[in-house]
A = this chain, B = another copy of it.
Amino acid sequence: MIIDCHGHYTTTPPQVEAYRNAQKEALKSDPDHLFEKGHIDVSDDEIRESIAQNQLKMQQDRGTDVTIFSPRASWMGHHVGNASTSQAWTEQCNDLIRRVCDIFPDNFVPVCQLPQSPLTPIETSSAELERCVDQMGFVGCNLNPDPSGGFWHDVQLGDRYWYPFYEKMVELDVPAMIHVSGACHHSLDTTTSYYLGADTTAFVHLMSSDVFKDFPDIRFIIPHGGGAVPYHWGRFRGIAQDRGLGDLDERVLNNIFFDTCVYHQDGIDLLLEVIPTKNILFASEMIGAVRGIDPRTGHHYDDTKRYIDGNSKLSEAERKMIFEDNARHVYPRLQV
């Protein structure tokens, strides 16, 4: 079985964007507008069609089986509006993910976004995580380390601010993928400098912190192949050593996992060479940041299964770890 741990619902029916646009419109006249959840009128058929012709078709074309599926990351937009804006939007997005997974129970497993919002206690996210996991069968969440959209106004991930949420993750035995949303900072570009920079920044927060001492069983997935981290593993090992943080592998690799959203063979080969196999989870982020076909290969850039298949050093057992076993370890609630 091939489990893709990183897929977003990027192909929602237009009513979803209309709901979000109505929120933004209301905020223009009243930034403190208190939002209610309301309703998005989308039929099961519309959801079915939005998936069947897109993510499901590409799963089948590429020979993968199951996608761990969450709301569109770049649309989480935690910086937009106030706490009630994010709460209503998040619940709607998570409900939609649940419906996708009900319609295609063999192909998609739900992961939730969180109602993070500037100046909002993290406890609202704990409550939504509980709703999604306990009541709706979700297996994980996407945690945004920078709800300010590129300004990094919030405290580092090692700060006690986040601890109630980490406690909830451990209690529910679910991991978090650390994933920022769209950049609203003029200097950053969402799917390149912001995503990759945020992945690297989140790793540094965690490696410098006591989070894994305080939560020895917590599990984080750093997406996009870990940003710059595996390419600079020697730098990070050396800096950990210089700063008295000990051996980097021992310090972080019980708790941090990297996905395989690296869109060329050489990048994947580096990831597989540098990072222990047990810490790598197959992922494509299809349909996501890169949608074209690579003229050098004739295949989609984000068809990452080809790169795992194309690596010459992996044994079959190791390949199975990356495609399946590691995901089952990191997401123990996954029942597929």
| Interface positions of A (Cβ within 8 A of B) | 146, 152, 154-156, 185-189, 191-193, 196-197, 200-201, 203-205, 208, 224-225, 227-228, 230-239, 241-242, 262-264, 266-267, 269-270, 273-274, 289-292, 294, 301-302
Contacts and interface: CB of A to CB of B under 8 A. Distances in A.
B235 A192 contact: yes
A186 B266 contact: no
Nearest to A152: B187
Given A231-B270, A239-B290, 13 more contacts: A146-B187, A191-B239, A192-B200, A192-B204, A228-B228, A231-B267, A234-B262, A234-B263, A234-B264, A234-B301, A235-B289, A235-B290, A242-B291
A38 B236 CA distance: 39
Contacts of A193: 197, 200-201, 203-204
A274 B263 contact: no
Contact of A227 (B225, B228, B234, B239): B228
Copy total for this chain: 2
Given A187-B152, A201-B187, A239-B192, A224 B232 contact: yes
Q: Quick one: which of A196, A236, A237, A273 has the most chain B CB within 10 A?
A: A196
A136 to B, nearest CB: 32
A196 to B, nearest CB: 4
Contacts of A301: 234-235, 237-238
A269 B236 CA distance: 17
